[in-house]
Structures are given as C-alpha cells and as structure tokens.
C-alpha cells in the first residue's frame, strides 16, 4: 500500500495490530463526541490564502525549553504504544532523533526509562501522572533525572481513567482472568506478523516504569484496574508544588482547557502547558483544543510556552494550531499508527510527511517562518461554524 497520509498509517495499523491494541490507540471515551470534535474543529478552521509572495524557502525550525527543533512537533506520550512494534518506544525515539524533534516517554510505556535511555543518542522528555505512592514518584523522577530527560510533562487531566467503551468491547478492559486472556490471545493469533514480531520476539511485555507497583498477577489484563488503584484522585494544586520541588528541569503541565487553570499553572512556576483533552479519552463533551487554545494564549501566552495536541493528522493541522498561538504541537495517534504500521521506518516517514505538508501549507498562506503564523492567516469568524 502506498502511504500518502497519516490516515493511511491508521488503515495499515488496523490491519496489523490485534483488535484490543488498535481500539485502545484509536478510541476515546463514552460516545467519542470529543474525539470527533478534535478532528472536525480543526477541519473547520479556515486559513487565509495569500498569493504572489516569495515563498521559495520555508524554515520550520524553532526551539522549545532551550533545545533546537527541526520542526515544531513532539512525539507526545502514548501509553502502551511500545506494544505496537517490537520495543516500540525505542524505535519511535530513534525516528524522532533522526527528524530533529523530541520524543516523550509515557509513564505507562512498554519500555522502561532505562531501556529507552540505552537506545537514546539525545535527551528525551518524560511524562508522569500523580500516583498515591509519592515515594515511588520520587524514585521515578530520580530515574528521569539520571536518564538525562530534558523536560517533564506532568499530566493533570486523569485523576481517574475515562470510561472507554471500545476497550471493554475488545476485551482489554473489564475482562480479567482466563476469559480476557483467551479473547486477547485469539485477536493476536489473527495478526500473525504482530504475534511473531511483538508477541513472541518482543518479550518481556509489561509496563516497564511501573513494574514495581504492579504486584504479582497484575499486568496488561488488569491495566485499567491498576490505574484506578494507583492514580491519585485527591491531587490538588498543592501537590504540583511538590512535583516542582522534585524536578529541576522544565516542567510542562498537560491537560489544561480552562484559562483560570492556565493562570494557576503560571502561578505555580511551570515553564509550559499543553492545551489538551487527552485525545478525547477522558471527559466526553469537553471542548477541543481549537476552541480552548485562543483564550489560554490570551491569558498566559506571555508567561508560559504553550503547546497543544488533539486531532492532529497532518502538517496542515500543525499550521492551524500554530496560527492559534501554540509554540509547538504534540503528536499522539499519528505516531502510534505509524509505529504500528511500519515500526521505526513508519514513524520516520510520518514525520517527513508532516514536514512536507507544513511547507506546502505555509507557502499557500504566504509564510516562510513559523513566527509569521498568527491570527493574520486565519478567518477567525469561521472557527467551528460547522461543528
């Protein structure tokens, strides 16, 4: 199959990955209204085409938190993504490094901090949740520091896991014991290439960073129950002060949709925030980043480095979020699909597609540098008109 877009990678991943894993990556919470809005609100954002400008060159480079990037994207944290290909997070990191963009390792990755560090030739980011066991969190932060992680992305929109119907239907959640094992085994057997490459040759399987907390007999089959038991629903802004005291590098708060919350992020001393609804995987009915981003940029854009994610499937989508005020864009499903489809080569190809699409879009709006992407290239009155 000829791949010309992220959607093509999604189609390939669907055919290669077992159902429970594809549905986990692809799905959202409840009826997936917010998941759909993330895509449709981006599609409904109109750009102002400009003509007869010299757009013979295009500079996609930027810097985030003191590091130079070849383009303003980050491979954002995706839980369990490492199961999409053999030792998948290490493969994705290599592709990100070659493309000159950061990679962010999830707390609930398949590969541990130590394993990813061993495969790294440049610093990577680390993402963390608030857990009940602060001592364990302190140890994880120490491991991230020792691994040379250049930024900490702290996710705040998941005090409890969202209700994800697809994961229950597929057997990933709500089917513990032999019944769930058999369902997942059968789904894996229907994907023999994945079963050999990842299921057999990709062992050991597990959640590398949190293995000490899993306990005997707890693993992928009880993933969501483990999160409910170990994530801390009592977390408050005061707990973020503790995180700030434990981490000396750039701190980025992920999962902000409200401008008052954004002001609180600035007040507690973080360096950045991610305008995000967790990819539509938490509160169904929450606004898309397209709708939330302008007010947050207006409120704290001069105090924080503002990033965004959600629904990004092309370089055109990156351009739109940059025009709304984001300084960088996190990719999630885009790289997970590419990894599941073709491993490291797929992620590398996806990043090349994103860069090429950004250059085309910039030329058509008359921009040659990222700092020219602003309100002037938007028809702001048309945002979400068809949503």
Does 276 show up as a binding residue in the annotation?
Answer: yes
- What dihedral angle (degrees, nearest 10) is formed by the CA atoms of 273, 274, 280, 281? -60
- Residue 274's nearest CA partner among 24, 61, 76, 3 is 76
Does 50 show up as a binding residue in the annotation?
Answer: no
Q: Could you say which of 278, 291, 320, 359 is catalytic?
A: 278
Does 360 show up as a binding residue in the annotation?
Answer: no
Does 121 show up as a binding residue in the annotation?
Answer: no
Q: Any idea what the Cα angle at residue 328 is, between residues 264 and 70, rounded to 5°?
A: 145
Does 106 show up as a binding residue in the annotation?
Answer: yes
> DSSP 3-state assignment of 28?
coil
Q: Any idea what the Cα angle at residue 73 is, between residues 68 and 75, rounded to 5°?
A: 110
Does 27 show up as a binding residue in the annotation?
Answer: no
Does 311 show up as a binding residue in the annotation?
Answer: yes
DSSP string across 162-208: ---HHHHHHTSSS--HHHHHHHHHHHHHT-HHHIIIIIITTPPPS-G
278 is known as an active-site residue:
yes
Q: What is the enclosing helix (H) or strand (E) of 95?
A: helix 88-99
C-alpha distance from residue 127 to each of 78, 79, 104, 218, 370 (Å): 9, 10, 6, 22, 26
Does 312 show up as a binding residue in the annotation?
Answer: yes
Does 77 show up as a binding residue in the annotation?
Answer: yes
Does 238 show up as a binding residue in the annotation?
Answer: no
Does 29 show up as a binding residue in the annotation?
Answer: no
Contact 382, 44 (CB under 8 A): yes
Does 333 show up as a binding residue in the annotation?
Answer: yes
List the binding residues for FMN: 77-79, 106, 127, 155, 254, 276, 309-313, 332-333
List the binding residues for glyoxylate: 24, 129, 164, 278, 281
List the binding residues: 24, 77-79, 106, 127, 129, 155, 164, 254, 276, 278, 281, 309-313, 332-333
Q: Please identify every residue annotated as catalytic.
A: 278
């Amino acid at each position: 199959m000829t791949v010309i877009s992220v959607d093509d990678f999604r189609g390939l991943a669907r055919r290669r990955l077992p159902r429970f894993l594809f549905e986990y990556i692809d799905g959202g919470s409840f009826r997936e209204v917010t998941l759909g809005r993330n895509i449709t609100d981006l599609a409904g954002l109109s750009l102002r085409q400009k003509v007869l400008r010299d757009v013979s060159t295009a500079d996609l480079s930027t810097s985030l938190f003191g590091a130079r990037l070849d383009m303003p994207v980050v491979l954002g944290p995706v839980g369990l993504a490492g199961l999409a290909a053999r030792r998948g997070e290490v493969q994705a990191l290599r592709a990100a490094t070659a493309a000159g963009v950061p990679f962010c390792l999830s707390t609930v990755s398949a590969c541990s901090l130590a394993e990813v560090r061993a495969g790294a030739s440049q610093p990577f980011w680390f993402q963390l949740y608030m857990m009940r066991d602060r001592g364990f969190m302190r140890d994880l932060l120490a491991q991230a520091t020792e691994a040379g992680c250049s930024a900490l992305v702290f996710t705040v929109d998941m005090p409890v896991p969202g209700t994800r119907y697809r994961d229950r239907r597929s057997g990933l959640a709500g089917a513990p014991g032999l019944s769930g094992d058999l369902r997942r085994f059968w789904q894996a057997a229907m994907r023999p290439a994945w079963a050999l490459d990842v299921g057999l040759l990709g062992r050991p399987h597990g959640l590398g960073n949190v293995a000490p907390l899993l306990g005997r007999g707890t693993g992928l089959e009880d993933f969501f129950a483990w999160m409910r038991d170990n994530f801390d629903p009592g977390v408050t802004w005061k707990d973020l002060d503790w995180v700030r005291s434990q981490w000396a590098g750039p701190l980025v708060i992920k999962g902000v949709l409200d401008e008052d919350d954004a002001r609180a992020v600035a007040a507690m001393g973080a360096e950045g925030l991610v305008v995000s609804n967790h990819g539509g995987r938490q509160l169904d009915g929450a606004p898309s980043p397209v709708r939330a981003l302008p007010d947050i940029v207006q409120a704290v854009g001069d105090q924080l480095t503002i990033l965004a994610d959600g629904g990004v499937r092309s370089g055109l989508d990156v351009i739109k979020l940059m025009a709304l005020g984001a300084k960088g864009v996190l990719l999630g499903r885009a790289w997970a699909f590419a990894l599941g489809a073709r491993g490291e080569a797929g992620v590398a190809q996806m990043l090349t597609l994103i860069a090429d699409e950004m250059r085309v879009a910039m030329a058509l709006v008359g921009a040659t540098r990222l700092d020219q992407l602003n309100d002037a290239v938007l028809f702001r009155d048309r945002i979400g008109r068809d949503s």
